[in-house]
Amino acid sequence: MRLAARDVLRAVREREAYANLVLPGLLRERRISGRDAALATELTYGSCRSLGLLDAVIAAGAGRPVDEIDGPLLDVLRLGVYQLLRTRIGAHAAVDTSVALARTEFGAGKAGFVNAVLRRAGEKSVDEWVDELAPRDPVGRLAFEFAHPVWIAQAFADALGARAGELRDVLAADDARPIVHLVARPGDITAEELALVTGGEEGKWSPYAVYLDGGGDPGKLEPVREGMAAVQDEGSQLVALALTRAELDGPDNGRWLDLCAGPGGKAALLGAIAAIDGHRVDAVEPAEHRAELVRKTVHDLPVDVHVADGRNSGLTPGYDRILVDAPCTGLGALRRRPEARWRRTPADVAELVVLQRELLAAAWDLLRPGGVVLYSTCSPHLLETVAVVVDAARRTGAIQLDTRDLLPGVPDIGDGPGAQLWPHRHGTDAMFLAALRKPLE
């Protein structure tokens, strides 16, 4: 299990691979299952999430910066320190197995170095290391304790606004492994039926959501294999549902558009809902390989997939409902992408905001008067959310709907007119959504 985890950490470091894509295939290839697979998963994802904290402790134990330590050796150290500080694995086992990994690949000398660093790391508890190494300011300390870059923790605090005292809860929720959410495809299976078949629990907020607690590959579940259900965060389900619930000015003619469709989860839910009333959905995705994923996801639904740039799609205007689930930093889904927090930088925000504004402007041009565009991001960063919507409303004269009305029964989603979901409040990714209606001409 530790060798598998070490190999994934190496792929993440050397090739900028995604742990959640590499690990499942590696477990299948090596026929690792059950409790061993669960341990490999915990060690891999936990080490990726905790990188900043681990590296600070390693540097303190080694007496040198981590960038002066050979990469393959650093992978072993990160794995060892994670076990020492953030699992219930005994110190003896954590050290001995890590030393053995180093000795097998690098020889006795470097194994001795690993042994020395890990023994120093194990001399203090994680709380004692936090007290010693964390920045003194409140946001910096929380960011260090819960292994987030400071700029991301600050972005969360800014988005929480008057409730910034919840920052600890947000970061803690972000640092925990999330449960799997399934979506029951409307018209094929109900959430109640899906929960009974899978042993899951019906969701709190989406009428199609089911929660799966525990390990295992959800792709092996019969309803998922047969296309009656899929893995989809409940927050993403709520985004698609909000678009369908928005009040139009005039009739719904059944022309819906998902302008940023890849990999297809929201397009599939929209398509299943559209099919009930005889409507159709156009789905736009610029990359062919991702467009193919959309096609597979929506293959038996009234969804037409177009390979095009959403900013210049070539589609005929006149849509009743348009979803702009814009490319973003993904800061709201860091718990599902363990290494992502260490790859993003503040510079990414400025670049993405330009794209987000352009996509929303393109959607506006495709929307009929009286129609609604729903803008969403899987990020709570104010520049990607409120600022984009306010700018669009100012430029277009859009009518901002109270998006909270489109999420009935969901509490604590902000002061409006947009809505913000949070992992610590709702158990979802931190999705932002805002609905804009085009005035009648």
SS (H, E, C) 365-385: HHEEEEEEEEEEECCCCCCCC
Spatial distance between the Cα atoms of 5 and 45, rounded to a whole number of angstroms:
9
* Strand (E) or helix (H) holding 415: none
Q: Which two tokens stand for residue 377?
A: 């991001």
The answer to whether 127 is a known ligand-binding residue is no
Share of the chain above pLDDT 90, in %: 92
- Let me know the angle formed at the C-alpha of 108 by 97 and 9, rounded to the nearest 5 degrees: 45
8 A C-beta contact, residue 193 and residue 199 = no
Averaged pLDDT of the chain: 95
- Let me know the angle formed at the C-alpha of 340 by 425 and 101, rounded to the nearest 5 degrees: 115
Question: What's the whole-number mean pLDDT along residues 308-327?
Answer: 98
In the residue annotation, 378 being an active-site residue is answered as yes
SS (H, E, C) 283-313: EEECCHHHHHHHHHHCCCCCEEEEECCHHHC
Task: For residue 359, count other CB atoms closer than 10 A to its CB.
Answer: 23
The answer to whether 265 is a known ligand-binding residue is yes
pLDDT tens, residue by residue, 335-383: 988 899 999 999 999 999 999 999 999 999 999 999 999 999 999 999 9
pLDDT tens, residue by residue, 136-167: 999 999 999 999 999 999 999 999 999 999 99
Share of the chain above pLDDT 70, in %: 99
Contacts of 275-279 with CB under 8 Å at 24 or more apart are 275/187, 275/301, 275/302, 276/186, 276/187, 277/252, 278/254, 279/252, 279/254, 279/255
pLDDT tens, residue by residue, 37-89: 989 999 999 999 999 999 999 999 999 999 999 999 999 999 999 999 999 99
Tell me the HSE value of 334 on the side-chain side, using a 13 A CA sphere: 31
Residue 260 clears pLDDT 90, i.e. is over it: yes
Task: For residue 317, say if its preceding peptide bond is cis, omega within 30 degrees of 0.
Answer: no
Residue 441 clears pLDDT 80, i.e. is over it: no
The answer to whether 320 is a known ligand-binding residue is no
- Encode burial over 164-195: b for 16+ CB neighbours within 10 A, e otherwise: eebbeebbebbbeebebbbbbbbebbbbeebb
Residue 215 clears pLDDT 70, i.e. is over it: no
For the entire predicted model, the pTM comes to: 0.94
Q: Is 193 helix (H, G, I), strand (E, B) or coil?
A: helix
The answer to whether 260 is a known ligand-binding residue is yes
The answer to whether 65 is a known ligand-binding residue is no
CA distances from 117 to 13, 65, 82, 100 (A): 20, 13, 13, 14
Predicted local distance difference test score (pLDDT) of residue 177: 83
Spatial distance between the Cα atoms of 26 and 247, rounded to a whole number of angstroms:
47
Predicted local distance difference test score (pLDDT) of residue 376: 98
* Catalytic hit among 94, 194, 378, 392: 378
